[in-house]
Amino acid sequence: MRRIIFIFLLLPCISWSQALNYFTVEEQSLQLFNDFEYKKLMVLGEKAIDEKIDFYDLRVRLGIVYFKQNKFENACIHFNKAIEMNPSDAGVLNYAYVCLLYTAQYNRANELLVKYPAIVSLLKPKSKGIASIELEQGRVFAANGSAMSTDNIRLTNANYAQGNFFTNMNYIRGYVEALSTPSMRWHFGVNLFQSSHNSKIEFFNQNVLETKTSLNYQYNIGLTQTFKKGFTAGLAMGLCRQNFPYPYINSSLNPPQPNASIADSTESSSTFTYSAMLAKRMKFVEPILLLNYGNFDLKTRWQMETGITYFPLGRDQLYGYSSLSYINQNAITSYAFNQKIGYTIKNTLTLEANYLRGSLDNYMGSMGFLTLNTFDPLNWSLGLDAGIHYKKITITPGYRFQQRTGTILQEESPNPGSAIQPQVLENSFTYKTQLLFITIKCQF
């Protein structure tokens, strides 16, 4: 009798340990689904998929099971896979759509709604009105200003040198997305940033060191349209305004005489930027093409960026973005490289590492909404962001470690008794800065 009971208890283990095939998975998954044995079905389904046994009904069952367990990210994976196999089932389309809404993937939900009008879910995001609001505050720190202010920046025996040494910058950024239709979005952005620097003049026996601050701003507006085939196109423009105060030697003589006075001046410049974007969302990748134009401080800049967003796991949990920018500024060709890698942990935390390097003087990204038009241009930037998700709110603290290039005007001293007039040279130097910021985003 004991032997019979032992064999009876062992039979389920023997049946589960047998090699799986399409027919056994179909039969067992249907039985477990009908018997509400959801945990066993999840184990069986994931094991079958790992063994390359993958079919439409299994994906639908797994999607529904995960949905009922409130594991909407996992449900998204299986429903999206089922739609790839058969996009004609309106019930599965609705499940996938609701999962995207529950995981706050509103852009993808609207894309699905545009692509498959058969979706009739009562849970729909706004077709008009504000879709999201972002606020960001940050500060750039640099030890460069205090360090250079104590150094002698004149060349040996030279009479003149001048430099503006960046110390810090505070900024605040606002960004709003608004829907005209489920497939058309307006984008609005504003940036206010206050820069501080030490302006230093060493002129014969006069040394002047003054701390200067300037308030600068940037406004952006853009429009994007999503089409049924997964294409997204966009246009944007921006207005950038820079104000740069600095002292200078008030003299028309060349070279200036020792008794020349020191005066203050403010250099201001405004420029409009123009951007265009075309992207195509596919199964595991989304290629993108960006074109940007701006005229900063009389520097005409054309920029073409080709990039690709990729999803190695077939979903947003792990993603990356790589891009290469071709830049033509004042007829000089250069390049910039951008790399991002992000990973979402349990739908509550996203970590994103990013690296940017190259010709970043007035670099434009995100259709011009990100424009690096600071007075000392970046050489490279390395950082990490941590996005904390709670319902429709995302709070993202971030950090950047950066290298910048500054310049010094220095008079070149001729040999004593020479008839050659002194020449003023522009020499560059590099220094490090650190950026700390926090972003708050609310989805509607």
Q: Where are the domains of the chain?
A: 12-103, 129-443
Most confident of 9-23, 81-95, 249-263, 426-440: 426-440
The model carries a pTM of 0.74
In angstroms, the CA 51 to CA 21 distance is 9
Q: Closest by alpha carbon to 351, among 389, 380, 325?
A: 389
Q: What number does CATH give the domain 12-103?
A: 1.25.40.10
DSSP-assigned letters across all residues of 331-398: TEEEEEEEEEEEEEETTTEEEEEEEEEE--TTEEETTTTEEE--SS-EEEEEEEEEEEEETTEEEEEE
Q: What is the pLDDT of residues 180-232, one digit of tens each?
A: 887 889 999 999 999 998 888 887 767 888 888 989 999 999 999 988 777 89
In angstroms, the CA 320 to CA 275 distance is 23
Q: Closest by alpha carbon to 265, among 219, 227, 210?
A: 210
Q: What is the pLDDT of residues 249-276, one digit of tens each?
A: 766 555 556 666 777 888 888 999 999 9
Q: What number does CATH give the domain 129-443?
A: 2.40.160.60
Task: Please state the rounded mean pLDDT for residues 22-44.
Answer: 88
